[in-house]
Structure 1
Amino acid sequence: MTPFDYARAGDTAEALRLGTGQGVAYLGGGTNLVDLMRETVARPDRLVDVSGLSSDITETPDGGLLIGAGVRNTALAEHRVVRERYPVLARAILAGASAQIRNMATVGGNLLQRTRCAYFYDTDGSRCNKRAPGSGCDARDGFNRIHAVLGASDACVATHPSDMCVALAALDATVHVEGADGRRTIAFGELHRLPGDTPDRDTVLQPGDLITAVELPALPLAARSTYRKVRDRASYAFALISVAAAVEMDGDRIADLRIAFGGVAHKPWRAIKAEDALRGGPATEAAIRAAAEAEFADARPLRDNGFKPALAARTLAAVIGDLARGEAA
């Protein structure tokens, strides 16, 4: 591990002051950043500890929820309002990592997780444009079972690893940020980037920007929601495919819904095409599979992950079917 300076911020203003300059990283729970530092993938000159900031969960006047960036994942999953109004979020968090890691990991840090692509972590023998821009991408012709089928580029086929972020994408969350230009909000779907020619940039955040909170809108249909994760083993594995979904039914027809996929792209993938295809129609398996096929029409599978579009369609059909029958809410 490369030597670094450490400072603990007492408030947001101090964090922003300490976070100015090159080679500075904010430290929340450290569950991903410390791993990256151990592997010398990340080499910050200074860590600014913000784990003690923004750790409240409060209801907003319009019935939504404001979640501080320092809230631990376990605390968020166990919060009464989250479990009752946004069960998809609680279930997504519980599907991730281990209990010990969830006890340490923070909401803000979860949003900034970096890919678990093995070539990204292999600093000794692999080419990776995300780690070393311009070096190439060994994943394209290597072992790419977990890699992207949507939104990838010739420069990068990595996937975003977070479960929680898939639920937040489906819930139309908003991210609160403070930085050199003051306070601003970012729609969750616009926070993470597709790789394009600059896969080393995961988000639209600028140097020194600090995530302070995530806001969930009042979304009544979210009370009938769930998260399903398909993976190679039952514990501590990243998603091959995951689905976050919320459904509002009108008799046997879908009045409204939200869908997001994980494990398929460089960012949590909001399934707008599938939503449009299903809204107002029947919740039949045939209709749901057809909607998933429309969502994955532009998929570009690699050698080892051609199963993902079909697996996504089957998983979505199971999830929406359960929600429509009231069996997964």
Structure 2
Amino acid sequence: MLGTIIQQTVNALTIGSIYALIALGYTMVYGVLRMINFAHGEMFMLGAYAAFLALTLVVGDIGAVGAIALTLVFFGAIVAVGFVGVGIERLAYRPLRNSTRLAPMLSSLGVSLSLVTGVQILAGPQPVGFPSFFPTTRFDVFGGTVTLVQIGILIAAFILMFGLYTLVNRSRMGIIVRAVSESRPTAQLLGINVNLAISMVFFSGPLLGAAGGILYASYYGIMSPTMGAVIGLKAFTAAILGGIGSIPGAMLGAYILAFVEVGGTALLPVVSGGVLGTEYRDVLSFAILILVLLIRPAGILGEPVSEESMVYKREF
């Protein structure tokens, strides 16, 4: 029993870490631009494909040199996707910044479809096996099985999330981004480079999403052009659950969602006598989204929005 609890807890933490990396991208863009970037799930997908392309250029056994090469591949791929995110913002979102909120949202849907179609044309629509970035070593912990892949994903995710926390709360760029989030017109009057702050958000968000894509593909050993659709929606659900626009909320929502998924799918076959199985995992995720929107639309750590705050925040 203890072994099962440990194993399922590690499973939930692993999946939650991946969800958190993607959810942070959604919440950062919304926090600054009050916009839902529906193309963010495709940054998750591009990360896996960029890493796979870079891996084809890496030759050699996995030793000390191989580990360094894999690390360089990982960071090179996520940085490349970060620059893709900056380019997308510059071409597809910035010209629509002063229009209605619906326009950039529709533009993001167009970008999402374009990226999926482009990858399907270039790499093919079929799923592709993805090599793990970590050795497939297994450890027995009080009767539960914990893999080195899971440990590596947890370490990588926590390092990236801590890096984002440091950037936002302990750096000059973080102060600039938070100022733009409060009020773009006021930030401009104070001489802040608003475009630079928004570019930083669209660099760091896709970078984290790409990292999530690489870790996800390493964990499950497969990638596909459409892999960002469902996972992106789950990460969006996590961001709403925790409080869209809140960085701690996005991380909290991601781990809660992962524990509900893992725990629910483990208990459903037992409770239902085998009638309901693991195929209802996604149903649990989106049922949570509906419940949150009905009970607490602002999320767990989100601020309730009043008419006065909407008038104060509104920018024309």
Question: TM-score by structure 2 length?
Answer: 0.28
Greater RCO between the two (CA within 8 Å, min separation 6)?
A: 2
Structure number with higher strand proportion: 1
Question: TM-score by structure 1 length?
Answer: 0.27
